[in-house]
Amino acid sequence: MTEKKLKRVMIQTLGCQMNVYDTGRMTDMLYDLGYEPTDSPGKADLVIVNTCAIREKAEQKVLSSLGRLCAIKQKRPNLLIAVAGCVAQQQSEKLCQRFEGLDLVLGTRVIHRLPDYVRALENGKGPIADVEMPEENVFDNTGLRSEAETQPPLKASSGGVSRYVTIMRGCDNFCAYCVVPYVRGWETSRPPEHIVEEVRALVSAGAKEVTLLGQNVNSYGKKEGLCSFPRLLELVSGVDGLERIRFVTSHPKDLSDELVEAFNRIDKLCSHIHLPVQSGSDSVLKRMNRKYGRQDYMERIEKLRSVRPGIAVTTDVIVGFPGETEHDFEMTLDLLEQVKFDTLFAFEYSDRPQAPARRFKEKVSADDKKARLRELLNYQAGITRQIYEGLVGSIMDVLVEGFSRRGRGAGDEKDLNKPEMTGRSPQNRIVNFELEHSTKQPDPGQLVGKIIPVVIERACANSLKGKLPADEPAAEYKSKGGKIHAA
């Protein structure tokens, strides 16, 4: 028998959770071709850069990564280099011209063709560029499994307590600043039975939490006449052994009463919603084509808070959208003050190819954008501090994910007698906690994947710090339905 050569693939994932999911899918497909994952480009036979085009900075990162890889290829000509994701979709031709060593450009809607292309490259063919946006093969909504769907969900990429599941791709909203509809294509939802099947497989491989992914999950299934998003949540919550469900991202205009009601009904649904507001000014929202106003937004949040008191709300904000005045910006700060987001992601507006706002006049200067971003982040840091300090002394159910950065030995504070673990509360707050080396405390390894109560002792800028309740030693925790309960 001839011995098969071990091949290695490194996938660099940039951008959003959608890319993390696609990387998992590519890892699985390549595993079938004999590729083991590696973190080191030096050891890899194939490197894939899974790219993001959402903002200018993200795109620059892609270009510098590809530049570095092509330089490595000059010394190791057998190295195969591929680029996937949004920049691949958008800039296929440019990339091929600019990077001579590039072997494969794979668009966002043809990921399932990766194995065929890699086989061809191994046989000396190429370079190959495929950025077709075929209608039929992203998700098959007839109930039959499409080519893309025949990949069983977990293999090489298995492991992990918290996993992503894509429920839809693309977007039909055309916000004026956004490149997504052009690089990910139109909105397509995946049949609920495929989603539930994948969640089941993830849970049997050890997942306790899933995050359902889509650009606008609230409009799930509408176009295809599948079930509604709240119904999908209900179906997913029926998976035994699954403890927590999260979802991203919701568009405020589509946040229905039925979804608000789902927070009332479905216990597994975590008390957190990421609801990008983008701006607190009605006139900016209008020009962004967001189709809601600040009042609508605040009313939606009030409704959510009335059914789920204590629900954490996080958001995305763009500063310096064309025509944003000082007054518009102040309206955004005022909205932050009124809503009291847990945390937020804030971005300086950047022109994107194809997105209509690139043609809007009255661009905000780079200096003003920087200054506004700084002010907004400072402002929010104060609000986050206030919220987090108010949590000191409370007990939170934390789903333990593993050792924290410090617990893994990073940084000077490393203390091997006090391993530090990390996990998340239902509100998606990061909670780190120390374990004392004592017979009463649990073995760190056994805690991973368990939901345990943690007493919050301190608020940090982006996380909380706690400890296990002293009078509830591990020996007395009982594992019940995957949860550890104090006896």
Residue ranges binding ligand SF4 (CB under 6 A): 171, 173-175, 178, 180-181, 215-216, 251
DSSP letter for each residue of 116-176? HHHHHHHTT---EEE----SSSS--TTSS--GGGGS-S-STT---SEEEEE-EE------T
Pairing of strands 80-85, 46-51: parallel
Pick one of ligand SF4, ligand 5AD, none as the site partner of residue 174 (Cβ within 5 to 8 A by kind).
ligand SF4
Q: Nearest approach, Cβ of 312 to ligand SF4 (angstroms)?
A: 20
Q: Nearest approach, Cβ of 160 to ligand 5AD (angstroms)?
A: 23
Give the separation between CA 49 and CA 60, rounded to whole angstroms: 13
Give the separation between CA 459 and CA 20, rounded to whole angstroms: 29
Choose the binding region for ligand 5AD from 108-116, 344-352, 454-462, 471-479 (rule: CB under 6 A).
Answer: 344-352
Site for ligand 5AD in 241-280 (CB under 6 A): 276, 278
316 contributes a contact to ligand 5AD by CB under 6 A: yes
Tell me which H or E stretch contains 485.
strand 483-486
Other beta carbons less than 10 A from residue 388's beta carbon: 21
Instruction: Determine the straight-line distance between the first and last CA of the chain, rounded to whole angstroms.
Output: 57
| Rounded (10°) angle between helices 229-237 and 257-265 | 20
- In contact, 250 and 216? CB cutoff 8 Å: yes
Q: Nearest approach, Cβ of 454 to ligand SF4 (angstroms)?
A: 34
Pick one of ligand SF4, ligand 5AD, none as the site partner of residue 316 (Cβ within 5 to 8 A by kind).
ligand 5AD
Instruction: Give the list of residues 6+ apart from residue 393 with CB closer than 8 angstroms, or none.
Output: 455, 456
Q: Nearest approach, Cβ of 428 to ligand 5AD (angstroms)?
A: 16
66 contributes a contact to ligand 5AD by CB under 6 A: no
Pick one of ligand SF4, ligand 5AD, none as the site partner of residue 191 (Cβ within 5 to 8 A by kind).
none
287 contributes a contact to ligand 5AD by CB under 6 A: no
178 contributes a contact to ligand 5AD by CB under 6 A: yes
Other beta carbons less than 10 A from residue 267's beta carbon: 11
Instruction: Give the list of residues 6+ apart from residue 41 with CB closer than 8 angstroms, or none.
Output: 10, 47, 69, 72
Q: Which residue has the tokens 């080519």?
A: 147
Choose the binding region for ligand 5AD from 141-149, 343-351, 405-413, 419-427 (rule: CB under 6 A).
Answer: 343-351
Give the residue among 158, 152, 114, 129 at the shortest CA–CA distance from 26: 114
Nearer to ligand SF4, 31 or 186 (CB): 186
200 contributes a contact to ligand 5AD by CB under 6 A: no
Pick one of ligand SF4, ligand 5AD, none as the site partner of residue 350 (Cβ within 5 to 8 A by kind).
ligand 5AD
Task: Supply the Cα-derived Rg of the chain in whole angstroms.
Answer: 23
Give the separation between CA 31 and CA 118, rounded to whole angstroms: 12
Q: Nearest approach, Cβ of 321 to ligand SF4 (angstroms)?
A: 12
Instruction: Rule CB under 6 A: choose which of 21, 341, 349, 433 binds ligand 5AD.
Output: 349
C-beta nearest to ligand 5AD: residue: 316
Burial of 197 (0-12, 13-18, 19+ CB in 10 A): middle
By CB under 6 A, how many residues form the interface with ligand 5AD? 12
35 contributes a contact to ligand 5AD by CB under 6 A: no
Choose the binding region for ligand 5AD from 58-66, 286-294, 346-354, 452-460 (rule: CB under 6 A).
Answer: 346-354
177 contributes a contact to ligand 5AD by CB under 6 A: yes
Nearer to ligand 5AD, 308 or 352 (CB): 352
352 contributes a contact to ligand 5AD by CB under 6 A: yes
Pick one of ligand SF4, ligand 5AD, none as the site partner of residue 280 (Cβ within 5 to 8 A by kind).
none
Tell me which H or E stretch contains 378.
helix 366-389
Nearer to ligand 5AD, 165 or 318 (CB): 318
Other beta carbons less than 10 A from residue 360's beta carbon: 16
224 contributes a contact to ligand 5AD by CB under 6 A: no
What does the binding site for ligand 5AD look like in residue numbers (CB under 6 A)? 54-55, 177-178, 276, 278, 316, 318, 347, 349-350, 352
